[in-house]
Chains A and B, each alone.
Chain A
Amino acid sequence: MASTPIAVDRAEKFEKVCGILDRYARRPSGLIPILQAIQHEYQYLPEEVLTYVATSLDVPPARVFGVATFYAHFALEPKGKHVIRVCDGTACHVKRSIPVLNALHEKLGTSETSKTTADMLFTVETVACLGACGLSPALVIDEQVYGQVTPERALALVDEINAKEESLAAASTASAEQLSAEEAHD
């Protein structure tokens, strides 16, 4: 895939965006669901897509950027492969969610301003309240909710993912090696 020209990539990108825009009849009133669908597709809102959306809906780009930056759910930067969201609602806060957050930041080298790891594997963020207050403190990793989390447990969960990722990487190198070995054999 490395040889695919960038232009084709971008055309594909806009093709999907066009599909989403058509689904909402290109009405500016559908801006929020449109942005949600685009983010669902790309995991974030790429800048050139936002400009394209503005042109398609015939509204100023400022309106689209205004909405995209107003709501907490829209991300203008790509997120890591695994998104860890630490709940910092009142119930979680009084049950010590901040030590959990700090432990994750420390381990992954992330911070409040730089939420994603350099290898794009993890993003660590807080969420106002998950509504899982009965389980406080709670955190969510890729939609899976974990309750009564301690800093130790949070770090163990990260280790688990790391181990899985390593074995995945090992498996893919192994299969790549096998493939090239077979090719050499041919």
Chain B
Amino acid sequence: MTNMENPSSVPAKKHGISTLAQVRRVIICAGTGCMANGAMGVFERFQSEMAGSGIHVILELRPEAADHEIRLSKSGCQGFCQMGPLVSVVPDGILYTKVRSEDVPDIVQQTLVGHQVVERLLYKDPATRKSCRGLEDNPFYARQSRFVLRECGFLDPEDIHEYILHGGYKAARRAFVEMSPEEICTTVLDSGLRGRGGGGFPTGRKWNAARVQNSTKKYVICNGDEGDPGAFMNRSVMEGNPHSVIEGLMIAARAIGANETLVYVRAEYPLAVERMRRAVADAEREGILGKNVFGTGQSMKCEVMEGAGAFVCGEETAMIASIEGQRGMPRPKPPFPAQSGLWGKPTIINNVETLAHVSRILNEGPEVFRSIGTKESPGTKTFALTGHVANTGLVEVPFGTPLREIVLNIGGGVTDDAGKIWKTGFKAVQIGGPSGGCLIPEHLDLPLAYESLRSVGAMVGSGGLVVMNQGTCMVSIARFFMQFTQRESCGKCVLCREGTKQLLALLDDVIEGRADAGTLELMEKLARAVQVGSLCGLGKTAPNPVLSTLRYFRKEYEEHIFEKRCRTGRCKALLRPTINPEKCKGCHLCFAACPVGAISGEKKQPHHINPELCIKCGACAKTCKIHAIEGI
């Protein structure tokens, strides 16, 4: 348990960039965030500016690059999404943030030609106001332990040669040429790797269960149906390092004796679909996938399938139904997919992040993997850190890292609605999405791991961490999740289908001021019934956000019910706008602005709002120059 107390005792090489090629390179982050902020324009500008300055630009990796050549490449998500587009120059060790194409000539002239740093484009740490030159002095990166994400921000995801040059497919080759399926399973079991999709089931055990099945046909499916609203770790891995996923899939297939694999990608991720498809085609061309894997005569097929927009398909048996061309409805387990899955054959389904860990476990050995994280939860976990936090983006830390480290140090602190640091603003973190729960200030020193989170009624889930400030209404958040699961319920189990609907109606009663003394009790009773009466994880966990907010924010619920008041002012139905007669000068502006004629009063006399007519639109408050309208 020593690592749990001191999670920073990880090996020295913590993040970023190792020395693949000596050639100098400019890397433009082409993750979804940076692309939306104009990374492609930056890339094109670099191409023309570099050529214009007489620099020899290489776009495809060649081992024999000469000294004066500079490689220009795109990478997958580098994680620091809010600061994009990101441009890094290696081996100079410079990270430029928020780069616009107008900034490119300066980078080319000052940095590439003149070996100087362009100060204004460096990241400024809001806490210390110091400029950070690169990853080492940037608290967002320096405090992370990037393993799965390490190559995401460095390798060109569309270049298989670069992946291979960087040691890629070495583990897969060993698995096929030197190792027996049993040895592979044992190695993965010894590493203690647990499923990163949320369940946390030991991966080696799952593989073993499928390995011992006596069947000539078996399947491995990669679960890339990352449906949690507020999580995008898998997306970034598929976009940033698709070959690591394929390599993991191949090793898994070899371990259980399958020769067909499938990657099921969420339909909302078109770029991930495109990159995965391209990676499969490239691997086939290189003879890594196909009829004769690494010359062993074994065959290995990999197909990429796009989902069609159903959260429940993240559940194993629902995903199998979807692949078979059916509605994505789960079925009872056992039989487990490892015994009878796709087309009735033994099938294992692993999460993207789980598979991305596999090649490293084989390369470095299970002991190295076990030396990070906690005893029960070894290794690292990626989290999508979002919401009211200064540095939103993708972080990877060892299991056992306290919440405080992630939110306050890596995340740079809690912010208000305008994005300014709000020192006392921390209210809660929602972890595990619609299946998870919330963590509150007293949990700031809780080490994040499977076992510790379960004890406080939350779960790791797939890794979404949504930070919420004091201005967030927790009843509304519970309602938000309940609405999500209610819409996504497949309808098979009555308690999930109807129960979530009734829970949503009860939450609406609380929010709209109709609830009474019995509402909370009824909600709790119903929530437990839904948990017990549902077949799959969606229904079993659907009431978690309600139960968890009730556990930690019961007072807020009671304020809504008994005082008809929302302390954050977010629940519109509970607003009671009034005009302060002391302040009101009777200017009549609000009278004219009110769209429903709810305001009355003589000129130069204090006005009055009729609560029966008022629709709480806030138009009056906006027009009042002396802020006499209160409570809205």
| Centre residue among B269, B324, B386 by max chain A CB count within 10 A | B386
Q: Which residues of chain B come closer than 8 Å to A138, judged between CB atoms?
A: 36
Partner of A128, one of B232, B268, B327, B472: B268
Which of A83-91, A166-174, A176-184 contacts the other chain?
Answer: A83-91
B269 vs chain A, min Cβ distance (A): 6
- Asked if A31 is an interface residue, CB under 8 A from chain B, the answer is yes
- Of residues 79 through 113 on chain A, the ones whose CB sits less than 8 Å from some CB of chain B are 88-91, 93-96
- Asked if A161 is an interface residue, CB under 8 A from chain B, the answer is no
Residues of A in contact (CB 8 Å), total 40
A-contact 0/1 string along B29-42, CB 8 Å cutoff: 00011011100000
- Asked if A35 is an interface residue, CB under 8 A from chain B, the answer is yes
Q: Which residues of chain B come closer than 8 Å to A129, judged between CB atoms?
A: 227-232, 268
Give the nearest-CB partner of B483 in chain A.
Answer: A88
| Centre residue among B464, B481, B488 by max chain A CB count within 10 A | B464
CB of A134 within 8 A of CB of B82, answer: yes
Known: A66-B327, A129-B230. A32 touches B36 (CB 8 A): no
B596 vs chain A, min Cβ distance (A): 16
Give the nearest-CB partner of B32 in chain A.
Answer: A132
Known: A29-B325, A71-B328, A94-B472. A131 touches B226 (CB 8 A): yes
Q: Which residues of chain A come closer than 8 Å to B323, judged between CB atoms?
A: 29
CB of A71 within 8 A of CB of B81, answer: no
- Asked if B243 is an interface residue, CB under 8 A from chain A, the answer is no
Q: Which residues of chain A come closer than 8 Å to B310, judged between CB atoms?
A: 70-72
- Of residues 372 through 397 on chain B, the ones whose CB sits less than 8 Å from some CB of chain A are 384, 386-388, 392-394
Partner of B33, one of A28, A33, A36, A147: A147
B-contact 0/1 string along A27-61, CB 8 Å cutoff: 11111110110000000000000000000000000
| Centre residue among A67, A131, A136, A147 by max chain B CB count within 10 A | A131
CB of A91 within 8 A of CB of B326, answer: no
- Asked if B287 is an interface residue, CB under 8 A from chain A, the answer is no
Tell me the complex Cα distance, A134–B392, Å: 5
Known: A33-B306, A71-B309, A128-B268. A91 touches B386 (CB 8 A): yes
Give the nearest-CB partner of A130 in chain B.
Answer: B268
Tell me the complex Cα distance, A90–B232, Å: 12
Tell me the complex Cα distance, A46–B324, Å: 23
Q: Which residues of chain B come closer than 8 Å to A31, judged between CB atoms?
A: 325-326
A41 vs chain B, min Cβ distance (A): 15
| Centre residue among B32, B229, B305 by max chain A CB count within 10 A | B229
- Asked if A143 is an interface residue, CB under 8 A from chain B, the answer is yes
- Of residues 121 through 165 on chain A, the ones whose CB sits less than 8 Å from some CB of chain B are 127-136, 138, 143-147
- Asked if A73 is an interface residue, CB under 8 A from chain B, the answer is yes
Q: Which residues of chain B come closer than 8 Å to A27, judged between CB atoms?
A: 325
- Asked if A74 is an interface residue, CB under 8 A from chain B, the answer is yes
Tell me the complex Cα distance, A36–B472, Å: 38
Partner of A131, one of B84, B268, B417: B268
Give the nearest-CB partner of A129 in chain B.
Answer: B229
A-contact 0/1 string along B304-330, CB 8 Å cutoff: 011111110000000000111111100
CB of A67 within 8 A of CB of B326, answer: yes
Partner of A136, one of B270, B392, B430: B392
- Asked if B107 is an interface residue, CB under 8 A from chain A, the answer is no
CB of B270 within 8 A of CB of A143, answer: yes
Known: A94-B466, A94-B472. A30 touches B309 (CB 8 A): no
Q: Which residues of chain A come closer than 8 Å to B306, judged between CB atoms?
A: 33, 36
Tell me the complex Cα distance, A35–B615, Å: 44
CB of A131 within 8 A of CB of B232, answer: yes
A-contact 0/1 string along B223-237, CB 8 Å cutoff: 000111111100100
- Of residues 463 through 507 on chain B, the ones whose CB sits less than 8 Å from some CB of chain A are 464, 466, 468, 472, 477, 480-481, 484, 488, 490
A-contact 0/1 string along B557-601, CB 8 Å cutoff: 000000000000000000000000000000000000000000000
Tell me the complex Cα distance, A66–B270, Å: 25
- Asked if B23 is an interface residue, CB under 8 A from chain A, the answer is no
**A and B contact pairs by CB, cutoff 8 A, 20 listed:** A28-B325, A33-B305, A33-B306, A36-B308, A67-B325, A73-B307, A74-B309, A90-B386, A90-B466, A90-B480, A90-B481, A91-B386, A94-B472, A128-B227, A128-B309, A132-B36, A133-B464, A134-B81, A135-B36, A143-B270
Q: List chain B positions with a Cβ less than 8 A from chain A.
A: 32-33, 35-37, 81-82, 84, 226-232, 235, 266-270, 305-311, 322-328, 384, 386-388, 392-394, 417, 430, 433, 464, 466, 468, 472, 477, 480-481, 484, 488, 490
Known: A131-B231, A132-B36, A135-B82. 13 other contacts (CB 8 A): A29-B324, A31-B325, A32-B305, A67-B325, A70-B310, A90-B480, A94-B466, A94-B472, A129-B229, A129-B231, A131-B266, A133-B384, A135-B32
Q: List chain A positions with a Cβ less than 8 A from chain B.
A: 27-33, 35-36, 66-67, 70-74, 88-91, 93-96, 127-136, 138, 143-147
